[in-house]
Homo-oligomer: A and B are copies of this chain.
């Protein structure tokens, strides 16, 4: 099945003369259907341990380099990846300190513009040029309350 995200990734990679191979498609598909960022190990398990780990890691690196994926450095010794914002849309994260789950959360335009105003004011006061921001909320998820 070819989704719309698949098609967008396809053309993005074509622009950069990077092939959209079977393994890379599996990674994108795995992350497309996830509710939050996934680690290499989680992706590996998610595809029934097809796709060798070395290839999986290489695919993650290639797709990150191509701007298709964004790394998310969460808990200790583990990098999780998610689709880049131009594919999935901007969002923030709810991180459960109990079970460790990271959940995507959409954000309204009103909230987003408020956050952006704060980001811009903080940045300009520090002579910093902001490119993006991440608002991460830690606490207890609905299941762990």
Contact = CB atoms under 8 A, between A and B. Distances in A.
Interface of A: 71, 73-77, 79, 92, 94, 96-97, 103, 105, 107, 111, 114-115, 117-119, 121-123, 125-142, 145
B128 A142 contact: yes
Contacts of A92: 122
A111 B115 CA distance: 9
Nearest to A115: B118
A64 to B, nearest CB: 10
A94 B118 contact: no
Contacts of A107: 122
A24 to B, nearest CB: 20
Contact of A138 (B121, B126, B130, B139): B130
A36 to B, nearest CB: 12
A140 B131 contact: yes
Contacts of A96: 128
Given A111-B122, A114-B117, A115-B118, 5 more contacts: A105-B126, A114-B114, A119-B137, A123-B137, A133-B137
Contact of A129 (B115, B135, B136, B145): B145
Contacts of A121: 111
Output the residue of A97, A103, A115, A129 with the most chain B CB within 10 A: A129
A134 B73 CA distance: 13
